[in-house]
């Protein structure tokens, strides 16, 4: 197995994994989407809401605000030792919003949400939550907690998590007459004509649409495009709640935990049946 990182920004990562199967790649994708926990506002106590947005819509908007997540200091409510419906300081945190429009119109931004724990603050302070007309006021307490993407998409730590096959492009130099039709049709500018040869310029851009094979005048086509079944281009884009590396690391931990639990239970059952 070989992993090569192609591009890495603050919030996204593009990498190639060689030597795994589609089922394994998909396991990683699905765990990231539905199992890796992150913080989001869940319960809201609305004390006053004069704005034109109804409480429900306001609640929905607050829930969708991505919050910076510190997985080491918070527990998932279902795994927390308090087992309380209301939660404890180990499994929830409060954000307070108290804004009044005095004088003129006022836009309420995510930076107006005052977090109890500064480590659990909105990813961006510039998200408009609602607009208040003069004299209107909003007062509320929002309770944020960890949750998983399978429960609600607001707990999904990524906005994009995809993989595709690494393309394999072969040009049969013996039969290719370098007419350039394939270079012309390619919408991703993958191919290039250099002299009397067709060369692959940037293979990773190829989406395996096979337009070049269809347009080739040779019979059968002198160019062949296929996906390598055992290597994948992964693209993971975080919503900003956690660094991408942490999300992937966490996904593998969850995978490990699931299977070690499985194994433990299996061994327990085997021991029981042997005793019988």
Residues numbered 198-237 forming contacts with other proteins, rule: CB under 8 A: 237
Indicate whether 7 belongs to the interface with other proteins (CB under 8 A): no
Question: Cβ-count burial of 224 within 10 angstroms (0-12 exposed, 13-18 middle, 19+ buried)?
Answer: middle
Q: Which lies closer to other proteins via its Cβ, residue 87 or residue 149? A: 149
Q: Least distance in Å: CB of 98 to other proteins?
A: 17
Cα angle at 238 between 63 and 127, to 5 degrees? 45
Indicate whether 50 belongs to the interface with other proteins (CB under 8 A): yes
The number of C-alpha atoms within 13 Å of 219 and in the hemisphere containing its C-beta is 0
Q: Applying CB under 8 A, which of residues 29, 156, 182, 222 lies at the interface with other proteins?
A: 156
Cα–Cα separations (whole angstroms), residue 236 to 5, 20, 64, 188, 244:
12, 17, 19, 21, 7
Indicate whether 130 belongs to the interface with other proteins (CB under 8 A): yes
Convert residues 52-91 into a mask of x (bound to other proteins by CB under 8 A) and - (unbound): xx---x---x--xxx-------------------------
The tokens of 74 are what? 């918070």
Q: Which lies closer to other proteins via its Cβ, residue 160 or residue 228? A: 160
- CA 78, CA 146: separation in Å to the nearest integer? 10
The number of C-alpha atoms within 13 Å of 36 and in the hemisphere containing its C-beta is 29
Indicate whether 136 belongs to the interface with other proteins (CB under 8 A): yes
Site residues for other proteins per CB under 8 A: 50-53, 57, 61, 64-66, 105, 110, 123-128, 130-136, 153, 156, 158-160, 237, 239-240
């Amino acid at each position: 197995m070989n992993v090569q990182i192609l591009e890495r920004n603050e919030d996204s990562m593009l990498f190639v994994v060689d030597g795994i199967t589609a089922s394994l790649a998909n396991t990683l994708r699905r765990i990231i989407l539905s199992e890796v926990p992150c913080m989001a506002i869940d319960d809201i106590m609305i004390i006053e809401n004069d704005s034109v947005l109804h409480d429900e819509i306001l609640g929905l908007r607050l829930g969708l605000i991505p919050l910076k997540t510190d997985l080491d200091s918070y527990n998932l409510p279902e795994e927390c030792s308090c087992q309380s419906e209301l939660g404890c300081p180990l499994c929830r945190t409060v954000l307070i919003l108290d804004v009044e429009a005095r004088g003129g119109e006022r836009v309420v931004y995510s930076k107006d949400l005052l977090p109890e724990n500064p480590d659990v603050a909105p990813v961006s302070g510039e998200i408009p939550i609602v607009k208040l007309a003069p004299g209107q006021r909003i007062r509320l307490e929002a309770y944020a907690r960890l949750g998983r993407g399978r429960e609600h998409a607001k707990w999904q730590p990524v906005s994009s998590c995809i993989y595709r096959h690494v393309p394999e492009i072969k040009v049969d130099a013996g039969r290719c007459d370098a007419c350039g039709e394939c270079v012309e049709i390619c919408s991703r500018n993958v191919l290039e004509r250099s002299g009397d040869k067709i060369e692959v310029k940037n293979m990773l851009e190829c989406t395996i649409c096979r337009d070049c094979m269809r347009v080739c005048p040779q019979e059968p086509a002198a160019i062949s495009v296929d996906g390598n079944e055992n290597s994948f281009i992964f693209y993971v884009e975080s919503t900003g709640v956690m660094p991408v590396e942490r999300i992937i690391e966490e996904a593998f931990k969850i995978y490990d935990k699931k299977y070690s639990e499985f194994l433990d239970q299996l061994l327990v059952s085997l021991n029981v049946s042997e005793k019988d």
